[in-house]
Structure 1
Amino acid sequence: MISLALLTSLFASQLVAAQNPKYSIAQDFSGSKFFDGWTFTNGNDAKNYGNVAYLAKDVAMTQQLAYVNPAGNAIVKVDNTTVGSPQDAAYGRASVKMNSTQPFTKGSLVIMDALHFPYGCSVWPAYWSQGSPEDAWPQFGEIDIVENVNLAPINQMSLHTSQGCTLASDTQVTGKIVSNDCYNNTNGNQGCIIQMPDNSYGEAFARNGGGVYAVEWSSTGNGIRAWFFPRSSIPADMTSANPDPSTWGTPTAAWPESGCNSSKFFGPQTLIINISICGAYAGSASVFEATCPNQGTCLDLVRNPRNYDNAYFEISYVRIYSDGSTPTQSQSGASTATASRTQSGANATGTTGSSNGSIRNSAGLVSAVLAVVAGAWILA
């Protein structure tokens, strides 16, 4: 006869298993096939007023703005060789914006291992996701994973949604909660922001060997959670066939279901990687002065290619895992077209904390300036 204790133990083990789903690989962007699963925007950055010309895939690869280096890492970069014409007041430097050709869904774990994020005065990069179709934004949500501008060293993550998604101030995270309302019409679409730790972005991120960003959209009641691990503390199972977020400790950022029903506020998400220049956020006078003091104006820098030597992503891999709870297509390289909205709709996500030198000493002021200005330029 089975004892009550044994039944209780079996029930508890099943409950834990249900709460900690097993993830397996669904899409793998790495090595020589990294660029197989992306579509490239061909055109300008009109909605963000960015001084860039996004190139089609074949042109970007020919011009070495998107390629795999000898180490096997993907490089996505801004042109740093062409001298802009002084007569061209609207000069747009060549750059890249790429969207994953198939979305990830609830029940997914998205991991990026990067050695370098773009930085420098006038530089505005983003690694983010948005729901489709883009014209319905923010109905299907947006997740800003990495975004900031100029010389700011601290990344901030955020969500952007329709009305009703919030972040409780007592949510257990190792990051710093900056704002709580994810609704796009609140605080100029600042979003619900959580600030990452030092060395999570910019020159410091590169100097420390980069690191890993992992985002889980849980199918078992944990909402949306994210972890940032610097190179020296990446969990051993991160590159395994079945990474297990339940072993990674308190998340750096989290948006629990209790405040934001992710099934209601989010639809399948398209990953996006892009680098803009100046524009409504990085080029805003107050933001530029806060993160690039004594550098003139943002537009003063656009024509000088040397200003963009550090304006590149170096990515070891992006991998999307699924727990099987939602049907997904497998492997990178599928050809389902997805939405291509403008720069990470939040642009408030980049509400950075500070920058090097004197800016670091006024982190609170800079964070406030960036939050307000960035929020005011979220794309419609």
Structure 2
Amino acid sequence: MYTLGLLWLAATFFTTLARAAFTLTQNYQGQSFFDAWTFLSGVDGNSSSNVLYQTREQALQKGLVSVNAAGHAIIKMDNITDGTKNPTFGRSSVYILSNATVSAGSLVIMDATAMPFGCSVWPAFWMQGQVWPADGEIDIAENVNLETKNQYALHTAQGCMHPSAEQTNATLETGTLISTDCFNETNYNQGCLVGDPSPNSFGAGFKSTGGGAFATLWDDTGFKIWFFPRASIPADLSSDSPNPSGWSTPTASFPTSACDTPNFFGPQSIIFNINVCGSYPESNFNPSCPGKCQDFVGVPSNYDNAYFEVSYLRVFTG
């Protein structure tokens, strides 16, 4: 009995170690960053926005995607064209989704030194399944206008929830619970939403403090998302063998106890996009921004800060 008990403990220990081991499977970095993406083009059919997404060729020609001298990928909105005399003007921008997908058993790490911000600006770094909402959506970095606190969300078919406030404690997540129902038809597709308490997790605050890293773990316990400010990034995060079990409490956590993730999430494409106006920024426009959202669209200098600067994006499986 004693020997069998030791064998069982040993097996459990090594199984845990095996699960903690990750292998790098996708690496988006440097001059090859944009080689494995699909560029969606045209208007945004999902929101009443004032954006015109560009093809790969158009985006390269207009300088909306590039790699700078530091080897960082730049994904930006047009800040040159004056559209003030065109009442139907749509500002050129970028919407890219990864050709490779991410599935359960993955760790996604994105390190950036800047993310887009400004009145009317609606950027996102997120993941979405092939069929929406049946295959789910995971919003890793998203907010609007001049907000400086990031928000994390799931959007799904009916039946997926975040634990209630009574069920949530400091061991689950450090973020602030905003809404619990992930169903896309609840509260105008707000999703189950967790707010980041850090005033430097988005926008101008993120950029002024050197940015940071977002890590998303998708395993058989659900989703865990961490935001690490530049000064607090774990030493192993940028290595070839990151170990989430040694990190602090996640900023946001969506456990399978409240959402049966295998039934609500299929393989996900990774997405970067920068939208302008639309339902989300317009509903949150005042008091942070004066006037109406559309008043900003035609003036190019309003978009000088509307860009991602991504050090790297890596996907591990384990």
Q: Same fold (TM over 0.5)?
A: yes
Tell me, which stretches of 5 or more residues in structure 2 are unaligned? Answer: none
Which amino acid in structure 1 is aligned with residue 229 of structure 2? P
1:216 matched residue in structure 2: 217
Distance 1:21 1:264 in 2: 24
Q: How does 1:118-133 map to 2 (within 5 A)?
A: 118-133=116-131
1:365 matched residue in structure 2: none
Distance 1:139 1:9 in 2: 39
Distance 1:66 1:15 in 2: 43
RMSD value, Cα: 1.6
1:233 matched residue in structure 2: 232
Q: 1:309 aligns with which of 295, 304, 307?
A: 304
1:67 aligns with 2:66: yes
Greater CA drift, 303-312 or 165-174: 165-174
1:58 matched residue in structure 2: 57
1:289 aligns with 2:286: yes
2:107 matched residue in structure 1: 109
Distance 2:37 2:130 in 1: 16
Which amino acid in structure 1 is aligned with residue 110 of structure 2? M
Q: TM-score, normalised by structure 1?
A: 0.79
1:156 matched residue in structure 2: 151
1:202 matched residue in structure 2: 203
2:36 matched residue in structure 1: 37
Q: 1:94 aligns with which of 71, 88, 92?
A: 92
User: 1 or 2, which has the higher strand percentage?
Assistant: 2
Tell me, which stretches of 5 or more residues in structure 1 are unaligned? Answer: 324-380
2:182 matched residue in structure 1: 182
SS of residue matched to 2:20:
coil
Distance 2:58 2:134 in 1: 34
Distance 2:151 2:211 in 1: 16
- What's the offset of the Cα at 1:4? 5.4
1:318 aligns with 2:304: no
Aligned length: 312
Distance 1:15 1:303 in 2: 57
Residues 149 and 196 in structure 2, CA contact (< 8 A), matched pair in contact too: yes
Distance 1:166 1:283 in 2: 26
1:371 matched residue in structure 2: none
SS of residue matched to 1:103:
strand
Show structure 1 runs of 4+ deviating over 6 A.
none
Q: TM-score, normalised by structure 2?
A: 0.94
2:279 matched residue in structure 1: 280
Which amino acid in structure 1 is aligned with residue 193 of structure 2? I
Greater CA drift, 20-29 or 151-160: 20-29
- What's the offset of the Cα at 1:2? 7.6
- Return closer, same or farther for 1:2/1:288 CA change in 2, 3 Å cut-off: closer
Deviations 1:304-336 (A, max 9, x none): 11111100000001111111xxxxxxxxxxxxx
- What's the offset of the Cα at 1:80? 0.7
SS of residue matched to 1:236:
coil
2:17 matched residue in structure 1: 17
Residues 20 and 245 in structure 2, CA contact (< 8 A), matched pair in contact too: no
User: 1 or 2, which has the higher helix percentage?
Assistant: 1
- What's the offset of the Cα at 1:11? 3.6
- What's the offset of the Cα at 1:5? 6.1
Distance 2:227 2:297 in 1: 31
